[in-house]
Amino acid sequence: MEVLWLAQEEVKSVVDMHSDMQVVERAFRQHGLGKVQMPPKSYLYYTAYNGDLRTMPAYLEEEDITGVKIVNVHPGNPMRNLPTVMALIILISPETGAPVAIMDGTYLTDIRTGAAGGIAAKYLARKDSKVIGLVGTGNQARTQLEALCEVFEPETVKINSRTKESCEQFIREMADFVPCEIRYEDRIEKVCDCDILVTTTPSRKPIVKASWIKEGTHINAIGADAVGKEELDPELLIRSKIIVDDMVQALHSGEVNVPLSKHYISENDIHAQLGEVIVDLKPGRTTEEEITIFDSTGLAIQDVATAHMVYERAVRAGLGRQVRMF
């Protein structure tokens, strides 16, 4: 038996944001209709190394697609010249349980997370949104911005990160992808004066104050994806309409996990899952003034749907190499 092996450059060569937003939105739609099997992420915590490992299986029943992602998060890795996040995705035949393809999932994780943020903003942000604010300028920020530019026509992008140098690098690298000015701001408060705010940091204490957010703002809260992480002032969650990607995962490790544990909010304060909004089971934004928050933990259905698209395109293009298993 042979399995198709796809390296990162091969994955990159066949995936694009426009197409991925389509397959990821379809996956969220199936999630909203209850047509997926997806247990919550399971975690191993490497406390001595400030890192963790996660396994993420999923089965999209309607499309008969299944697989699992193995992914780490080690914030100290850049000091070792390694990515903070590294991932491997295994596609599996639902019929036999045999592995079909193994591929790099590091870039795929970035692009599918960006796709989810773009889809969330499509359903939750004001249609006339023109100013985007980014807190954090890593790989996640890049794909978030790329996805938002698929949905909106921004006039200004404002950014802030831990260092001015990282912001300057972000501006250089994204200049050709964004049809407007990208401007460094020396304070997060200035970045928060926007229509769509994206936070992509590994913070374990709030860095965005409620008083900085004006009415009508949409927020993609991306960084909190493990127990104890939070980027937003709990008072902001109290003021806002909260939409999560998946209820079980969000309660455990999303932006809402710390405010829930400290009883600032309750599970009843969470309005909906994104898939429920997409299939019209629950409303999204209902007024121009309300603040909406998308709490993204990252779902295995996003990975499996994207990986399947990559696999099909790679086979047509003759990419990858067959690895013999037995």
Residues acting as catalytic residues: 69
Strands (E), 162-217: 181-184, 196-199, 204-208
Structure tokens at 143: 């794909």
Q: Is the dihedral of CA 18, 114, 309, 108 positive or negative?
A: positive
Considering only CA atoms, give the Rg of the chain: 19
Annotated binding residue at 160? Answer: no
Annotated binding residue at 30? Answer: no
75: enclosing H helix or E strand: none
Structure tokens at 298: 């990252």
Between CA 26 and CA 33 the distance in angstroms is: 11
Name 17's Cβ contacts closer than 8 Å, sequence gap at least 6: 111, 114, 115, 118, 143, 146, 147, 150
- H helix runs in the chain, sequence order: 8-14, 17-32, 106-124, 139-151, 164-174, 188-191, 234-239, 247-253, 257-261, 274-278, 300-317
At residue 103, what is the residue type? M
CB-facing half-sphere around the CA of 148: CA atoms within 13 A: 33
Annotated binding residue at 72? Answer: no
Annotated binding residue at 112? Answer: yes
> Which is it for strands 131-135 and 204-208: parallel, antiparallel or unpaired?
unpaired
Annotated binding residue at 203? Answer: no
Annotated binding residue at 32? Answer: no
Annotated binding residue at 228? Answer: no
Annotated binding residue at 142? Answer: no
Q: Give binding residues as ranges.
A: 112, 139-140, 223-225, 229, 296
User: Binding site for NAD(+): residue ranges?
Assistant: 112, 139-140, 223-225, 229, 296
